[in-house]
Amino acid sequence: TPLAHASDGSPLSYATPTQLAFLGWLSQTTRLVPVTARSLDALRRVRIPFAAAVCAHGGVLLTDDGAVDRDWAGEITEAAARHGPALDRLADAVRTEAARRSVNLTVRVQTEEGVPLYVVAKHPSADEAALHAVADTVATFPLDGWTTHRNGNNVAWMPPYLGKAKAVRRLLPRLRAAHPDTPIIGIGDSLTDAAFMAQCDFAMTPTGSQLARAFRP
């Protein structure tokens, strides 16, 4: 069943019957707060009920009424102003290395409301090996304090101020104050999700996920 659509209306992401049942249970029994790398626009094209949310790897924080948290947006905008040139240089380095290897990648600086947040690269034919080979070489780029996210056909480089864990750290006190006895379950599938999940009372991951594979005995 398609649950998310591209901007042109075509199906983009799908859910199995088991996933739909799980989502139904969550929507009926919890306050569902997405914590996602998707942009705000992309999240709004996902057909799930939610209140607050973390989008764009933590670059955007939504309040309970679905509005952008302007205090958080101001902090991100101020930090991004210092890292914008570095993001452009990194994107150019990825493109240069991809061209040197004759690898066709889609590379862009992801922005929200005109604010540059992180660099993301994907392979149009989902050749993960070729994508990651480029990322391995670009790892020599000076990225002190940066986070590199790799999961499937998706590589993102995030400056020090950005990350899901940082936005969740801002959001959690608000949730705990409003619902002091409600357990908070962090659900994620990528290695980079572990940091925000560790702030919650419980952590959950699909058994076939990147995160689960890393800890499988």
Question: For residue range 6-53, what is the model confidence (pLDDT) as tens digits?
Answer: 888 899 889 999 999 999 999 899 999 999 999 999 999 998 888 799
| Helix intervals (H) in 101-200 | 128-138, 164-178, 194-197
**pTM for this model (two decimals):** 0.89
* Structure-derived torsion over alpha carbons of residues 67, 194, 32, 159, reported in degrees to the nearest 10: 10
- Which pLDDT belongs to residue 143? 74
CA distance 57 to 110: 10
SS3 119: strand
Whose tokens are 């939610």? That residue is: 50
| Helix intervals (H) in 30-163 | 40-43, 70-100, 128-138
Q: Over the chain, what is the mean pLDDT?
A: 92
